[in-house]
Amino acid sequence: MQPNEAMNDLRAIRQIMERARRTSDGFGGWFMVLWGAIWFLGFVGTHILLHFQRDEAINWLWTPLNTIGILGSIYLGIRMARRARTRSSTLWTPLLLYWLALAAFDGVLIWQFRLYTNGLHMALLIVLTIALGYVQFGLFTHWSISVVGLFLGLVAVAMATWLPEYFNLGIAILGGGALIGGGFWALRYGG
């Protein structure tokens, strides 16, 4: 075999390995892109509704967005599990249950501590819980997802502490943007 043939073979090997990894294990990445887009739309919408004192419309905004997110997550999990039995695709059922458990936990906290009377605290709790979820999700899939979760948590605390009036906008741009960017990064480089 000539060196140029060896180089062509190595190049082909690298491309196929990357493609196999990307297309079989994209659950984490696409999951983050989906929820990043939902967060961006939801938190920008919340900021606008609060600005125009239309607080009562916030639930009407988030309910369909969350429904799209949940259905989209289920679709992604099923689609990925059919293509390759990878760490993340076989984990998607227990992970879905884990996220549901986190949601239930948040629901109990919001109810017991009456956080529904304070929109900022309620939103902060939810964002921090999700950030925790991403940190733990990344421990089982790819470290980049944990980094995004950590960044989300830091942004949420910083915005709530120093710029509470821009909390929703900050989470939309920085949090949603981090999820979308992190998701595409994970798709490109693995995770």
Partner 1 sequence: MPELDPVIHQPTRLRIMAALVGLDEGDRADFTFLRDLLGLTDGNLSVHLQRLEEAGYVRVEKTFVGRRPKTWVWATPEGRAAFAAYVDALEDILYPQVR
Q: Which of 63, 64, 67, 85 forms a contact with partner 1 (CB under 8 A)?
A: 85
**117 is a contact residue toward partner 1 (CB under 8 A):** no
Answer for the pair 129, 104: CB distance below 8 angstroms, yes or no.
no
Q: Which of 66, 86, 129, 136 forms a contact with partner 1 (CB under 8 A)?
A: 86
**Minimum distance, C-beta of residue 10 to partner 1, in the bound complex (Å):** 5
CA nearest neighbour of 92 among 179, 29, 27: 27
Q: Which of 1, 53, 59, 112 forms a contact with partner 1 (CB under 8 A)?
A: 1
**In whole angstroms, what is the distance from residue 144 CA to residue 64 CA?**
29
Taking residues 24 to 53 in sequence order and writing x for each that binds partner 1 by CB under 8 A, - otherwise, the string is xx----------------------------
**In whole angstroms, what is the distance from residue 190 CA to residue 38 CA?**
22
CB-CB neighbours of 114 under 10 Å: 10
Answer for the pair 149, 135: CB distance below 8 angstroms, yes or no.
yes
Q: Which is nearer to partner 1, 86 or 136 (CB)?
A: 86
**74 is a contact residue toward partner 1 (CB under 8 A):** no
Cα–Cα distances (Å) from 41 to 70, 169, 186, in that order, read 15, 10, 22
Q: Which is nearer to partner 1, 6 or 158 (CB)?
A: 6
Angle subtended at Cα 124 by Cα 123 and Cα 130, rounded to the nearest 5 degrees: 90
Taking residues 4 to 23 in sequence order and writing x for each that binds partner 1 by CB under 8 A, - otherwise, the string is --xx-xx-xx--xxxxxx-x
Residues near partner 1 (CB under 8 A): 1-3, 6-7, 9-10, 12-13, 16-21, 23-25, 82-87
